[in-house]
């Protein structure tokens, strides 16, 4: 067992458009927190891993190749490996707990 310290805590991005920190990594999954301030920019590209986002706080729209969805506190979203996705219309500081399986960047295409 392990308590994942800091997971889900908003961290301002400093000079960048957003902030990502990984809090746990094992072979089959990783967990981190992704923060985008209100009015900020999501500059991520598709990943090689399946991904689950849990919205801890904030409000935005997630746009993917298969559609778009409102994201609010408590939203849980699955994005399959390789699907392009970006958070837009970020009207409140967005804090996302992110779970990758397998671990982030451990599987390359």
pTM for this prediction: 0.91
SS (H, E, C) the chain: CCCCCCCCCCCCCCCCCCEEEEEEEECCEEEEEEEECCCCCCCCCCCCCEEEEEEEEEEEEEEECCEEEEEECCCEEEECCCCCEEEEEEEEEEEEEEEEECCCCCCCC
Per-residue pLDDT of 58-104, as tens digits, reads: 999 999 988 999 999 999 999 999 999 999 999 999 999 999 999 98
Per-residue pLDDT of 39-60, as tens digits, reads: 999 999 899 999 999 999 999 9
| pLDDT surpassing 50 at residue 8 | yes
Please report the domains of the chain, with CATH numbers, ordered by start residue.
Answer: 19-101 (2.60.120.10)
């Amino acid at each position: 067992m392990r308590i994942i310290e800091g997971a889900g805590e908003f961290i301002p991005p400093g000079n960048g458009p957003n902030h990502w920190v990984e809090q746990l990594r094992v072979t089959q999954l990783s967990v981190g927190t992704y923060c985008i301030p209100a009015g900020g920019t999501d500059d991520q590209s598709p990943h090689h891993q399946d991904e689950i986002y849990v919205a801890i706080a904030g409000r935005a729209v997630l746009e993917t190749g298969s559609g778009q969805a409102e994201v609010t506190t408590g939203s849980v979203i699955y994005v399959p490996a390789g699907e392009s996705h970006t958070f837009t219309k970020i009207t409140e500081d967005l804090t996302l707990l992110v779970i990758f399986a397998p671990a982030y960047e451990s599987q390359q295409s």
